[in-house]
Chain A
Amino acid sequence: MKKFCTSSIVVLIMLMITLPSLLWAGETLDSVLKKGFVTVGVNGSLFGFGQPDEKGVWRGLDVDTGRAVAAAVFGDASKVKFIPLTAVQRFTALQSGEIDLLCRNATRTLSRDTAMGLNFVSVNYYDGQGFMVPKKLGIKSAKELDGATICVLPGTTTEQNVADFFRSHGMKWKPVVIEQTAQLSKAFFSGRCDCLTSDASQLAGARAVAPNPADYVILPDIISKEPLAPAVRHGDDQWRDIVDYAVLAMIDAEELGITSKNVDEMLKSKNPKVQRFLGVTKGNGKALGLDEKFAYNIIKQVGNYGEVFERNVGVNTPLGLKRGLNALWTKGGLMYSPPFK
Chain B
Amino acid sequence: MASRQHSSSNRTAFWQDPDKRAIVYQVISLGIVLMVGYYLFSNTMANLERQNIATGFKFLDNESAFEIGESMISYSAADTYGRALLVGVLNTLKVSFIGIIITVILGTIIGIARLSSNWLVSRLAAIYIEVLQDIPVLLQLFFWYALFYQFFPSPRQALKPLPGVFISNRGLVFAVPAHHPVHSYMLLMALAAVVGSYFLRRWARKRQEETGKYFPVWRVSLLLVIVLPLIAWIAGGAPTAMNIPVLRGFNFVGGLNISPEFTALLMGLVLYTAAFVAEIVRAGIQSVSHGQTEAAMAIGLKPGQILNLVILPQALRVIIPPLTSQMLNLTKNSSLAVAIGFPDFVSVANTTINQTGQAIEGIALIMAVYLIFSLTTSVFMNWYNKKSKLVER
Binding site for B on A (CB under 8 A): 1-5, 8-9, 11-13, 15-17, 19-20, 23, 87-88, 91-92, 95-96, 111-112, 114-118, 145-149, 154-156, 159-160, 162-164, 166-167, 173-180, 183-184, 186-187, 190-192, 194, 233-235
Residues of A within 8 A of B69 (CB): 174-177
Contact B52 A167 (CB under 8 A): no
Chain A residues in 8 Å Cβ range of B116: none
Contact B351 A177 (CB under 8 A): yes
Contact (Cβ within 8 A) B52 A114: yes
Within the complex, which residue of A20, A91, A176 is in contact with B354, where a contact is CB–CB below 8 Å? A91
- A190 CA to B341 CA, complexed, in Å: 15
User: Known: A146-B249, A179-B339, A190-B169. Is A23-B354 also a contact (CB below 8 A)?
Assistant: no
B67 close to chain A: CB less than 8 A: yes
Report the Cα distance A8→B43, complex, angstroms: 19
A178-B339, A235-B52 given; A149·B251 CB < 8 A: yes
Query: Interface size for chain B: under 10, 10 to 19, 20 to 34, or 35 or more residues?
Result: 35 or more
Residues of A within 8 A of B341 (CB): 176-178, 183-184, 187
Say whether B67 contacts A173, CB under 8 Å.
Answer: yes
Is B357 a contact of A112 with CB atoms below 8 Å? yes
B342 CB to nearest A CB, Å? 9
A5 with B339: CB separation less than 8 A: no
Smallest distance from the beta carbon of A309 to chain B beta carbons, Å?
A: 28
Within the complex, the shortest CB–CB distance from B171 to chain A, in Å, comes to 10
A155–B43 CB distance below 8 A: no
Closest to A154 in B: B351
B197 within 8 Å of A by Cβ?
A: no
Q: Is the CB of B346 within 8 A of A4?
A: yes
Write 7 A-B pairs (CB below 8 A) sorted by A numbering: A5-B367, A15-B359, A20-B46, A115-B52, A115-B356, A159-B351, A176-B69
Q: Are the CB atoms of A179 and B359 closer together than 8 Å?
A: no
- Is B357 a contact of A111 with CB atoms below 8 Å? yes
Report whether B355 and A160 are in contact in the complex, using a CB–CB cutoff of 8 Å: yes
Asked if A117 and B48 make an inter-chain contact with CB atoms under 8 angstroms apart, the answer reads yes
Q: Are B51 and A233 in contact (CB under 8 A)?
A: yes
Stretch at the interface among B96-104, B221-229, B231-239, B330-338: B330-338
CB closest chain-B residue, reference A118: B357
- CB nearest neighbor in B for A155: B354
Inter-chain contacts of B351 with A (CB < 8 A): 88, 154-155, 159, 177
Q: Is B149 an interface residue (CB 8 A)?
A: yes
What separation, in Å, do the CA atoms of A122 and B356 have in the docked complex? 22
**How far in angstroms is the closest Cβ of chain A from B344?**
11
Instruction: Pick from B47, B253, B356 the residue with the most CB of A within 10 Å.
Output: B47
A95 near B339 (CB under 8 angstroms)?
A: no
Which chain B residue shows the least CB distance to A144?
B249
Minimum CB–CB distance from A35 to chain B (whole Å) comes to 21
7 new A-B contacts, CB < 8 A, other than A16-B44, A92-B359, A167-B76, are A5-B367, A15-B360, A149-B250, A160-B65, A176-B261, A177-B347, A187-B149
Instruction: Give Cα A190–Cα B54 distance, bound, in whole angstroms.
Output: 40
* A15 vs B77: C-alpha distance when bound (angstroms): 30
Interface string of B142-161 (1 = CB under 8 A from A): 10001011100010000000
- Say whether A192 contacts B77, CB under 8 Å: no
Is there contact, CB below 8 Å, between B339 and A183?
yes
Contact, CB under 8 Å: A2 / B137: yes
Determine which of B51, B170, B329, B359 lies in contact with A235 in the assembled complex, contact meaning CB atoms within 8 Å. Answer: B51
Contact of A147 among B50, B65, B249, B332 (CB under 8 A): B249
B245: CB under 8 A from chain A? Answer: no
A9 to B40, CA, bound (A): 13
Q: How far is the CB of A67 from chain B (nearest CB, A)?
A: 27
Chain A residues closer than 8 Å to B78, beta-carbon distance: 167
Interface residue? B186 (CB, 8 A): no
Q: Does B66 contact A (CB under 8 A)?
A: yes
Closest Cβ of chain B: how far from A135's Cβ, in Å? 14
Given that A167-B78, A173-B67 are known contacts, is A154 also in contact with B350, CB under 8 Å in the complex? yes
Chain A residues, Cβ within 8 Å of B46: 20
Question: Does B149 lie within 8 Å of A116, measured CB to CB?
Answer: no
Contact B367 A9 (CB under 8 A): yes
For residue B364, which residues in chain A have a CB less than 8 angstroms away from its CB? 12
A120 to chain B: closest CB distance in Å?
A: 13
A95 / chain B contacts, CB cutoff of 8 Å: 51, 53, 357, 359
Q: List 5 tightest A-B contacts by C-beta distance, closest first.
A: A155-B354, A116-B357, A117-B53, A117-B51, A163-B77
Judge whether B350 and A88 touch: CB under 8 Å. Answer: yes
Cα–Cα, bound, A189→B195 (Å): 51
The interface centre, meaning the residue of B142, B329, B336, B338 with most chain A CB atoms within 10 A of its CB, is B338
Contact between B339 and A190 (Cβ–Cβ < 8 Å)? no
Chain B residues closer than 8 Å to A234, beta-carbon distance: 51-53
Residue contact B363 to A148, C-beta cutoff 8 Å: no
Contact check, A192 vs B370: say whether CB atoms are below 8 A apart: no
Question: Complex Cα distance A96/B359, Å?
Answer: 10
Q: Decide if A19 touches B44 in the complex (CB within 8 Å).
A: yes
Are A192 and B51 in contact (CB-based, < 8 A)?
no
CA A188 to CA B359, docked complex, whole Å: 29
B52 touches A149 (CB 8 A): no
Check B307 for interface membership: any CB of A closer than 8 A: no
CB-CB < 8 A to A118: which residues of B?
357
Complex formed: what's the CA distance from A297 to B172 in Å? 59
Of the candidates A145, A154, A190, the one having the most CB atoms from chain B within 10 angstroms of its own CB is A154
Q: A5-B370, A163-B77, A174-B69 are in contact. Are A191 and B48 (CB under 8 A)?
A: no
Q: Which residue of B lies closest to A188 (CB)?
A: B149
Chain B residues in 8 Å Cβ range of A16 = 40-41, 43-44, 360
How near does chain A come to B88, taking the closest CB pair, in angstroms?
11
- Which residue in B68, B332, B343, B347 is a CB contact (below 8 Å) of A5? B332
Asked, given contacts A19-B47, A155-B353, whether A175 binds B249 with beta carbons under 8 Å apart, the answer is no
